[in-house]
Amino acid sequence: MRRPTRYGPAHIIASGNNQRLVVEVVEGVAKVGPEVVDRLLKKAELLRAKPVLVLYGDGPKLTEEARALVQERGVKVRRLRPPVLPTDAMPRESA
């Protein structure tokens, strides 16, 4: 569910147990800079939610500046890797 904000769309907004989370998913980018973290913090402040940054796949990596900002401001960072199926899991056509 994407919710539009003045800082760009919020990828996921979840609420429950008396808390609200705003989740930003980054995929396919080599380096995630402090501007991405700053934009997430602005969205979280606007929506009165806790920020969570999800790095999807092996591609995105935090720069040192972004890592310092994440630790300083208390942003949760999670890495999510898609499952890799073994090659034998695919059905084969019999000739």
Encode 1-34 in three state secondary structure.
Answer: CCECCCCCCECEEEEECCEEEEEEEEECCCEECH
Q: Using one digit for the tens of pLDDT, what is the confidence trace for 42-75? A: 999 999 999 999 999 988 999 999 999 999 999 9
The whole-model pTM stands at 0.82
φ/ψ (deg, to 5) at 22: -115, 125
Q: Return the pLDDT at 3.
A: 79
Confidence of residue 5 (pLDDT cuts 50, 70, 90): confident
Q: What's the average model confidence in pLDDT over 26-31?
A: 87
Evaluate if residue 95 carries a pLDDT over 60.
no
Annotation: CATH topology of 12-82: Trna Endonuclease; Chain: A, domain 1 (3.40.1350)
CA distances from 66 to 40, 74, 82, 92 (A): 12, 12, 24, 45
Q: Return the pLDDT at 71.
A: 96
Q: Where are the domains of the chain?
A: 12-82
Q: Return the pLDDT at 29.
A: 77
Sign of the CA dihedral with 10 first, then 16, 20, and 26 last: negative
- Per-residue b or e along 13-46, where b marks 16 or more CB atoms closer than 10 Å to that residue's CB: beeeeeeebbbbebeeeeebebebbeebbebbee
